[in-house]
A and B are shown apart, each in its own frame.
Chain A
């Protein structure tokens, strides 16, 4: 192309010229509309931002901000923005462990979301339930009666009181009339053993788990004293059908997928890095 013969008209037909012009226009446009020039010293508080401040204010207080209140919000924003930019310009964000952690948390979130979306199938959930029975098991339950004896008096007296009650119970006496009153229930109906452990103490619950069914036995010690005990029924731990625990299984399944996805991505990224640890780790541990 002979530049001297190129008319303005022709010039404007050239793709390269279009590119340059559009670029120029965008540059100028950017200067006019960009609300916040992060690198520079220009802060534009545009209508969108002010509207947003007003909206937040309304959401908080149920009324619109007065002009002076809105001005105060804008002043605060400008104040914070200036200090923020100055701080960023001085590189305060670079070595800040908090900011480092935030950025890596954000990145983790992005990685997690990119890994696997979509709901699990029934087959996924069934498989998860089978593979992790302990997390979803219905605990063993027990139904029992207990007669309480506190630790007052001498051990010999205590033994006597207990023996007398045991013989009475074996003769068929009403257990409600035996032993001592306490805040502990005399009859406990179909209650998980771990609950019994919380109420009576772990040793007592362990004793109940092994006691014969239908017979008065004891003394079985609890956290409070000694007990004459008769187990009426026990149910073993059982794995519920999926339908009864679907929400919990789905929750755990999702958590598991998230952790796996993150670990897999990290393993992949880690492979791309050459990491050299040049330090005596044992010494560092000792110092800590």
Chain B
């Protein structure tokens, strides 16, 4: 599609007229670790003075609406306001005309429409027919064509008209000139209710390199409208190099005093480029490059509709659970992978290579925490298996959607049944505000879920013992004597060995837990990377015994005829302690948790029951949903 057409589409992309009541209080302060959060204004109940985060806050950091040009072309009519209302728990009419609602609201959202469609600033000067129908704008248009003097006069008239609210209705301030971005900001301001619900100001920077290598980043601001409304989101038409985004972010922070971060996603569709060990233009990595990437990209999206990017069975052949919602047949455009590309696509591999690179570059460029989002392009962040909203209007709920073509890739015919109904990010923040949630993202105190809202705690330190693994006091102990997920362990003193506490509680309306696993990665003296997976907590421990490090499966209660399962297996809560059994104080290492649910129905089974769809045997019906925490890193002296 031509850029011109894209711009035209974007200009009209459902810019619902919303008069912005963007009153933003300036609460500028540097990001900080949680210490006694101030009570949030506007809270309907006062937040306690919390010393540490007490309640996990669930959200989606990746939502597209009809204002994203691809979603709009696909027929999405919902706008950012609809998207936010849906996430808050309101009933919303989908693009296919169905009243739809989440079972449970989320606590926060980042609507991340593609910036590349937002540039409508030149519409007036381009002589958009909509403007020429109005005598005033027609006159301005003509003045602008008559040299700089007249153009300046026209601009002054326009500014005056805007200031005095006498703009021609067709122009109505932001609508065409300042466009979608300001509308989006205004909507987020309207729905952001500190203490109750957080609507981030955000956009997606959508670099596809040159041929569909997915290098997309969600840009999320800590700030309110006062700092963000007048900016112009970075597009990729000048360059697809992520370093230009980092430069843009640095410029944003320097000029506004604000804060922003970027969350890359779909490494699985990047054909090796997401975590490639060279710069975008092929030059070798530099210490500055590593420092920039580490600074701006503290998180990475592990789950979303287009597959997971945590681990791949080909990279982790001994991992029994890596073969989960895998999309590894090509890049975003379906171009197949060549051998070796897969090494630069998945989080676990990047966590390892990042530590290896740290030796040469001084900074670990891939020190990524865990995030998840839907990447919905319907405006509906619906990642509930029995309420899966689909990726595009064409995959919104209806009989037969499983068998529709998603994309004919060069080496694979991808159908909609491969869509993954995932995921959400759990954030350990001290308050439900932009500032507190963003700060928690920045310090990586987050975990990624494939959908269910299990509660997961993870602490590392040198002084934990079995006696500290008590559900009632583990959190206080963890913060007092160690660091939470996303944190760093300092070099061990002689004889010290890292110890860890964990506690996982099932989703209150969901499935029991099968097990908790610790995933460790490290770099040896020769610079070679390794990983190991340990089962550290599981249900029915008297019946299920480790054999050669492996556990017998938890079982399966899913009834394929009814899509029902029973919590007669698994455990509602798994709490425990472990000590690294193979610790070498000289080796860089990371540790993170994977918490697995018992088997439950996949969205395809719910569809099969609801619509009577007869699916082919290659379609998975049962899955083990999971949460992946941010890592804790060990840093030798």
List A residues at the B interface (Cβ < 8 Å).
33-36, 38, 46-49, 52-53, 56-57, 59-62, 76-77, 79-81, 83-84, 87, 97-99, 101-103, 105-106, 109-110, 112-114, 117, 138, 141, 150-151, 181-184, 186, 189-192, 197-202, 222-225, 247-248, 250-251, 254-255, 258
Query: Once the chains bind, are A48 and B235 in contact (CB under 8 Å)?
Result: no
Known: A48-B151, A60-B248. A34 touches B145 (CB 8 A): yes
Query: Once the chains bind, are B146 and A33 in contact (CB under 8 Å)?
Result: yes
Within 8 Å by CB of B572, from A101, A103, A105, A225, lies A225
**A-B complex: 4 closest residue pairs judged by Cβ atoms:** A102-B12, A181-B472, A80-B4, A84-B4
Residue B404 at the chain A interface, CB threshold 8 Å? no
Give A170 Cβ to nearest chain B Cβ, in Å: 22
Residues 447-487 of B, flagged 1 when their CB comes within 8 A of A and 0 if not, give 00000000101000000000000111111000000000000
Residue B554 at the chain A interface, CB threshold 8 Å? no
Residues 66-94 of B, flagged 1 when their CB comes within 8 A of A and 0 if not, give 00000011010100010000000000000
Q: List 18 A-B contacts (CB under 8 A).
A: A46-B145, A48-B144, A52-B122, A60-B248, A80-B4, A81-B4, A87-B2, A102-B11, A102-B13, A150-B573, A151-B572, A183-B474, A183-B503, A183-B505, A192-B45, A198-B508, A254-B18, A255-B81
Residue B619 at the chain A interface, CB threshold 8 Å? no
Residue of A nearest to B81 (CB): A255
Query: Once the chains bind, are A182 and B45 in contact (CB under 8 Å)?
Result: no
Within 8 Å by CB of B119, from A56, A98, A197, lies A56
Query: Once the chains bind, are A102 and B9 in contact (CB under 8 Å)?
Result: yes
Within 8 Å by CB of A183, from B8, B75, B238, B575, lies B575
Chain B contacts of A258 at CB under 8 A? 16-17
Residue B193 at the chain A interface, CB threshold 8 Å? yes
Residue of A nearest to B191 (CB): A251
Query: Once the chains bind, are B2 and A80 in contact (CB under 8 Å)?
Result: yes
A-contacting 9-mer, from B124-132, B269-277, B310-318 = B124-132
Residue B609 at the chain A interface, CB threshold 8 Å? no
Chain B contacts of A84 at CB under 8 A? 2, 4-5
Known: A35-B127, A36-B126, A224-B572. A47 touches B19 (CB 8 A): no
Residue of B nearest to A104 (CB): B12
Residue B530 at the chain A interface, CB threshold 8 Å? no
Residue of B nearest to A190 (CB): B45
Give A235 Cβ to nearest chain B Cβ, in Å: 10
Residue B550 at the chain A interface, CB threshold 8 Å? no
Give B436 Cβ to nearest chain A Cβ, in Å: 17
Residues 129-146 of B, flagged 1 when their CB comes within 8 A of A and 0 if not, give 110000000000010111
Chain B contacts of A189 at CB under 8 A? 48
Further pairs besides A84-B5, A102-B9, A200-B508: 10, Cβ < 8 Å: A35-B145, A48-B125, A60-B235, A83-B4, A102-B72, A106-B130, A182-B471, A183-B472, A184-B505, A251-B190
Give B407 Cβ to nearest chain A Cβ, in Å: 19
Within 8 Å by CB of B508, from A103, A112, A201, A248, lies A201
Residue B234 at the chain A interface, CB threshold 8 Å? yes
B residues 571-592 with Cβ under 8 Å of A?
572-573, 575
Residue B560 at the chain A interface, CB threshold 8 Å? no
> How far, in whole Å, are A92 and B131 apart by their CA atoms in the complex?
21
Give B42 Cβ to nearest chain A Cβ, in Å: 8
Residue of A nearest to B190 (CB): A251
Query: Once the chains bind, are B232 and A56 in contact (CB under 8 Å)?
Result: yes
Chain A contacts of B3 at CB under 8 A? 76, 80
Chain A contacts of B104 at CB under 8 A? 198
Chain B contacts of A110 at CB under 8 A? 169-170
Query: Once the chains bind, are B72 and A182 in contact (CB under 8 Å)?
Result: no
Chain A contacts of B77 at CB under 8 A? 101, 105
Chain A contacts of B21 at CB under 8 A? 247, 250-251
Known: A33-B145, A38-B127, A105-B13. A49 touches B234 (CB 8 A): no
Chain B contacts of A224 at CB under 8 A? 505-506, 508, 572-573
Chain A contacts of B575 at CB under 8 A? 183
> How far, in whole Å, are A91 and B566 apart by their CA atoms in the complex?
58
Known: A102-B13, A248-B193. A60 touches B169 (CB 8 A): no
Residue B546 at the chain A interface, CB threshold 8 Å? no
Give A142 Cβ to nearest chain B Cβ, in Å: 12
> How far, in whole Å, are A103 and B8 apart by their CA atoms in the complex?
10
Give A129 Cβ to nearest chain B Cβ, in Å: 15
Residue B35 at the chain A interface, CB threshold 8 Å? no
Within 8 Å by CB of A60, from B15, B44, B172, B232, lies B232
Query: Once the chains bind, are B127 and A223 in contact (CB under 8 Å)?
Result: no
> How far, in whole Å, are A46 and B145 apart by their CA atoms in the complex?
7
Residue of B nearest to A33 (CB): B145
B residues 24-55 with Cβ under 8 Å of A?
44-45, 48, 55
> How far, in whole Å, are A254 and B122 apart by their CA atoms in the complex?
30
> How far, in whole Å, are A60 and B48 apart by their CA atoms in the complex?
42
Give A204 Cβ to nearest chain B Cβ, in Å: 9
> How far, in whole Å, are A251 and B235 apart by their CA atoms in the complex?
31
> How far, in whole Å, are A200 and B104 apart by their CA atoms in the complex?
14
Within 8 Å by CB of B72, from A76, A81, A98, A191, lies A98
